[in-house]
Structure 1
Amino acid sequence: MIQSADHELLFPRCSCVIHHGGAGTTHTTLESGTPSIICSTYADQPFWGERITELKIGRHIPFPILTKENLTEAIQSLDNETVRVRAAEIGKRIKAENGLKNALDWVEKHLPTAPIYKN
């Protein structure tokens, strides 16, 4: 077991990444173009697990129902060329997008009509 690893270097070298589904880890996995399995526990993790499932680039197994059998089945289901190509395409799209600029543009566009709350 290791204390930490550079996900940006590690994930592109993996055939599949199994992780908790936090937003940062999920983003790095998507950007790497690597299929993944999210074993969610709380907060936004189930959302990301369902999203990668919808995109057909990963699987979601909530941690309370995680078993050796369903993890093995999930790994095997992602071990095919179609999934790898789809994950790589999504990774290329994410790398090409300027997320910070897009977010700031959206805020600036909607700021004039945003509600103002006063106590």
Structure 2
Amino acid sequence: MSKSAVPVNLTDRLSQFSELWSQKKVAVLNDYEVKLAKLKGEFVWHTHEDTDELFLVISGRLTIQLRDADVVLEPGELFVVPRGVEHCPVAHEETAILLFEPEGTLNTGDAGGPMTKVAETLR
């Protein structure tokens, strides 16, 4: 069986790390990365000027603060933050998410700072 024929088990991949706010790349689709992350607490306000950002909640609950409203996501729900829209993810409990965004997209967008991390690849 070729490597490309092996499915990615999200539960297994999530069990491989406990670090919060650190994206882990689990697949690549064309020029896009599929990433997992565990979140708890509040992130930083930031913008991605050149790309939309898809958040899919696997477990827990995620609030995506926008300047004009909050979007609350439960497990199985997703939301796309449009490019250029300032946002701040908040998780009051540990929350597992899947992200879909272009390769090389920084987690902190234009904000930078100490929470900026390059996505590591999980195998």
What TM-score, normalized to structure 1? 0.32
| Greater relative contact order, per chain length (Cα 8 Å cut-off, separation 6+) | 2
TM-score (norm 2): 0.31
Higher strand share: 2
Larger radius of gyration: 1
